[in-house]
Structure 1
Amino acid sequence: MNDLIRQAIAAEAEERADAGTVLAGLRERRKSRKPFGLIVGVATLTVAAAAAAVIVPTTLRKTDAAPAGPPPAGPQNVLLIGTDDHDNTDALVLARFGGDGSVSAVSLPRDIQVGDGKLNSLFRQDPRRLTAEVERLTSVRVDHYAAVRMAEFGRISELVGGVDVCLHAATEDPLTGASFPAGRQTLSGEHALAFLRQRMGLHQGDLDRVRRHQAFLIGLAARISKDNALALAAEVGKSVRVDEGWDVLAFAQRFQGPVEIRTATLPVGDPVDTTSGQGLSADPAQARQFVEKQFGGEGSTQTGCVA
C-alpha cells in the first residue's frame, strides 16, 4: 500500500511537470486521470493517524473535486494512530467516514486502562490487539487503521508554513521545552512538537494534550493548499502504515467537496493503578453511548482556544 501511494504521488508530479501537455489534454483526461486533490488526499489520509478526520476533506475542498464514479459506499470506521519512536501510541482517534464524505471523530485518551495495562502499549504488541480493544470499549467495528509517527508533524508543520493555534494561558514545561504565551500564535518544527508533546503543567494533563492535538490538526488542515500539498504528501508518505487490503485510493474518492467535521474526546473516569503506571478508567456502556451520539451527528465539537 505504501508503495502504491508513493507511485501515485510520483506519477502526479511527472504529469504536473509537463504543463503544456496537461493543459492541452485537460478536458479529455479529466475523466480518466486521478485529480491532484485525490492523490494528496490519499497521502494525507494515511499519514494523519490522529488527523485524517480533519485534513482529508479540507485538502480536497481546496484542490480538485474527486472524479465522478459509482455511488458512495457505506460508512467506514477508521482507527487513526499516532505513535512515538518506540511504537507506543501517543494519539488515538476513532473516525467514522460517512458515505457522503462527512466525518465524525472521537479521540481516545491513550491512558485508558486495558486489563493490567493501558491502551498506549497495544499497537506496539500487535495492531490487532489495539483494534480489538477499541471495538470492545466502543462497540464499533474498526474497518481499517492508519498509523504514523508523531515526530513527523514537526516537519509537516514547516512544509505548510506553520500551524495556527490559540492558548487560554501561557505555559512552561522544561521536560518538552514548551514555552508559549497566551493567545493566538503560529508554530512549526520543534515548537510544534513541543506543543503536541506537553502535558506537564496542564490542568488536566494528558486530556488537555488530546485537545491540543485536535486544535493543531484543525489548524494544519486550514494551511493545506495546492502550493504545499504535493510536498506534504511526499513527506508524510515516508512513514505511514495501513492495514493490508485497504484500497486507500478508492476510499478517498468519497470526498467530493465541503463536509461537516465533528471532533470530541471520549469521557473517562477516575485514575486507576496499572502495571505501567496510573491509567484512566472508562465505562464501556458510557463509551458506546457517547460514540453513538457523536457518530449520529448529535455530539459537540471542539472550537476556540485550548489549555
Structure 2
Amino acid sequence: MNDLIRQAINAEAEERVDSRTVLANLHKARKRKPLGLIVGVATLTAAAAAAAVVIPTTIKKTEAAPPAVSATQETQNVLLIGLDDRDLTDALMLARFQADGTAVSVVSLPRDVLVDGQKINSLYAQAPGKLTAAVEKTTGTKVDHYAAVKMSAIGHVSELFGGVAVCLKAPSNDPITKAAFPAGRQVLQGDQALAFLRQRHGLENGDLDRAKRQQAFLVDLASKITKDNALALARAVSGSISVDEGWDLLGFAQRFTGPLAISVTTLPVDAPVERESGFGFEVDTAKARAFVDKALTEGDRSTEAGCVR
C-alpha cells in the first residue's frame, strides 16, 4: 500500500504514470490489505490535523476524474495524536471535519488527563484502541478514525514553509531542555519549532499552556497549506503517520476543495492531583461531554493565532 501511494505522489510530480490507473490500484489494494502506514504530513498534533487535511488533498490532486461525492457524506471525528520516540502522547486533539469539507473544529485534550487512574498519554503505547476508548469515555464523542504522527518530524515540516509564525506573551525558558524564546512575534523552524511545541517546563500552566502553543502553531501552519505545496509536504514526510485500518482516505479526500476554517479550544480540567500514576488532571465527565459537544458543533470560526504563553 505504501508503495502504491508513493507511486501516486511520483505520478503527480513527474507525470510518468496515469493517475487514474494508480488510484484504481489503490482501491483494489485497500480491499485486500490493511491501510497501515500512509503518506502523511506531520505538523503538531498539529502534526495530525494538517495531516488529515494534506493527505486527502494530495491524493485528490492525482485524480484526473474524481468520483462524485456522496450526497449522504457525514461529518467525521478524527483523533489526532502526536507521539514522542517512546510512543507516549505529547499532543492530543479531537477534530470534527464537516461533511462539506469547509471547516474543522478542534478540542485539545491535555496529555495528563486521568482516565480510570491512568494518564491518557500512556494509552496509545499500550494499544491505539485503549486511547480512542478513553477519549470516547471522557468526551462522550465517538471517534471515527485516528491519525498518529511522530513529533520529531515537525521540525522538517516547518522548514518546508520557511518557518511558522507564533507569538509569545512573555519570554520563556525551559529549565530542563534549556530551550528559550523571547516575547513577541517570531518565526520558528527546525529544532526550534519542535522545542516550542514540546515545552511545558517553565510555563505557568504546564501542559495546558503547551496545548495553547500547539493550537497557535496549527492555525498558522494550516493557513500556509495550499494545493501547490501539499505534494512536496507529503513527499517530505512519507511514512511518518499511521492511521486506523478502516479509514477510507480516498472517500475522505473527496470533500476537500480548499482551505479549512479552523476552530480550536482546550478541554477544561479540574485542579491537578497526585495518583499512583503520578501527577494528573481529573475531569468532570458530565461537564467535559457538554463542553466538547458544544465546541465540536458550534466551533468559533473566527479563531485566530493570538499570543500565547
- Kept in 2, the 8 Å contact 1:48–1:147? The answer is no
Q: Would the aligned equivalents of 1:104 and 1:263 in 2 still touch at CA under 8 Å?
A: yes
Count, aligned residues: 288
| C-alpha distance 127-95 of structure 1, shift in aligned 2 (>3 A) | same
Q: What is the CA–CA distance in structure 2 between the aligned matches of 1:228 and 1:100, rounded to whole Å?
A: 22
Quick one: distance in 2 between partners of 1:49 and 1:241? 13
Partner of 1:50: 46
Match of 1:306 among 286, 305, 308: 308
User: What is the RMSD computed on CA atoms of the aligned residues?
Assistant: 2.9
Q: Which residue of 2 aligns with 1:274?
A: 275
Gap change, CA 1:237 and 1:225, over 3 Å in 2: same
8 Å CA contact 1:55–1:220 kept in 2: the answer is: no
Listed as ranges, the matches of 1:191-210 within 5 Å are 191-210=192-211
Distance in 2 separating the partners of 1:58 and 1:88: 24
Q: Partner residue of 1:251?
A: 252
Identity of aligned residues (%): 55
1:178 has 2:160 as partner:
no
SS at match of 1:218: helix
Aligned to 2:13, the other structure's residue is in SS state: helix
Task: Quote the Cα distance in structure 1 between the aligned partners of 2:54 and 2:8.
Answer: 20
1:181 CA drift (Å): 1.0
Give the aligned partner of residue 234 of structure 2.
Answer: 233
Written as runs of structure 1 = structure 2, the 5 A alignment for 1:1-307 is: 2-15=2-15, 43-44=39-40, 49-53=45-49, 67=66, 69-71=68-70, 73-101=73-101, 102-225=103-226, 228-298=229-299, 301=303, 303-307=305-309
CA distance in 1, matches of 2:232, 2:189: 16
Question: The residue matched to 2:298 in structure 1 has which SS?
Answer: coil
Give the structure-1-normalised TM-score: 0.83
Distance 1:156-1:303 versus aligned 2 partners, 3 A rule: closer
Asked if the contact 1:57/1:257 (under 8 Å) is kept, the reply is no
With over 3 angstroms needed to count, the CA separation of the structure-2 counterparts of 1:285 and 1:70, relative to structure 1, is same
User: Which residue in the other structure is 1:26 paired with?
Assistant: none
Query: What's the TM-score once normalised by structure 2's chain length?
Result: 0.83
Distance 1:4 1:82, change over 3 A: farther
CA displacement 1:204-224 (0-9 Å, x = unmatched): 111000010111112222333
* Paired residues of 1:54 and 1:218 also in contact (CA < 8 A): no
Q: Contact 1:82–1:147 at 8 Å: present in 2 too?
A: yes
Amino acid at match of 2:263: R
How far apart are residue 153 of structure 1 and its match? 0.2
Of 232-241 and 118-127, the range deviating more from structure 2: 232-241
CA deviation map 1:268-288 (0-9, x unaligned): 111122333200011111111
Change (3 A) 1:58 1:130: closer
* Amino acid in structure 2 at the alignment position of 1:78: V
Aligned amino acid, residue 306 of structure 1? V
* Contact kept? 1:82, 1:92, Cα under 8 Å: yes
Partner deviation per Cα, 1:103-158 (whole Å, 9 max, x = no partner): 11111111000222200000000000000111111111111111011111011111
User: Residue 48 of structure 2 contacts residue 148 of structure 2 at CA under 8 Å; is this kept in 1?
Assistant: no
Unaligned segments of structure 2, at least 5 residues: 24-37
SS of 1:123's equivalent in the other structure is helix
- CA contact under 8 A between 2:104 and 2:261: conserved in structure 1? yes
CA distance in 2, matches of 1:65, 1:215: 31
> Aligned partners of 1:167 and 1:256: how far apart in 2?
33
Give me the whole-angstrom Cα distance separating, in 1, the residues matched to 2:212 and 2:230: 25
SS of aligned partner of 1:278: strand
Alpha-carbon distance in structure 2 between the residues aligned to 1:85 and 1:203: 26
1 CA distance for matches of 2:221 and 2:163? 8
Shift in alpha-carbon separation, 1:242–1:46, aligned structure 2, 3 A: farther
